[in-house]
Amino acid sequence: MSHAGFPPVATPAARVLVLGSLPGAESLRRREYYAQPRNAFWTILGAIAGAGPGLPYTARLARLDAARIALWDVCAAARRVGSLDADIERDSIVSNDFAAFLGAHQAIGTVLFNGRTAAALYRRHVLPGLPPRARSLTLVELPSTSPAHAAMSLAVKTERWRHAVTHAIGGDPA
């Protein structure tokens, strides 16, 4: 089944871009990034930037904007059965237009990947076609917030994410 992603969440002041691979089934159904309740993304971003799952979705997005954190996915569209990144059909991937996005968001200096798949897809499908400035951004692969990545505790994931976000924006985002 072919799935289309969402538009980016970003302001011109964004300093860091968080990238996933492609929204899962629950996110697509609700039209919200990281809508799967067992996904730790909003719990982690709640601890870092006050964008916790207890807030309405629009308030969480506003907190990300205030913290200078942009949010998007590598894939604009792809075929996948279910919600697992491993099930994305690699030959069906259409990547988002990062050259245009990064050209319009010049303050972004760091790309944080929500997991190994997002990082690999970006390096394979996006990075080679970017202009020099965009190819020189700092790229950081972080542990996936997906419930499928249960080998690492929430506390360790949160600290890795906190360190990366704090370093990327030059201070505490909260």
| Helix or strand holding residue 123 (H, E) | helix 116-125
| Helix or strand holding residue 76 (H, E) | strand 75-79
Q: How far apart are CA 75 and CA 98, in angstroms?
A: 10
Q: How far apart are CA 126 and CA 62, in angstroms?
A: 27
Q: Sheet harboring 110-114: ordered strands across?
A: 69-73, 16-20, 110-114, 138-142
Among candidate residues 127, 17, 28, 35, the one with its CA nearest the CA of residue 73: 17
Selecting among 36, 39, 95, 158, the annotated active-site residue is: 39
What is the bridge-based pairing of β-strands 16-20 and 69-73? parallel
The question of whether 114 is a catalytic residue gets the answer no
| Helix or strand holding residue 79 (H, E) | strand 75-79
Residues annotated catalytic, as ranges: 39
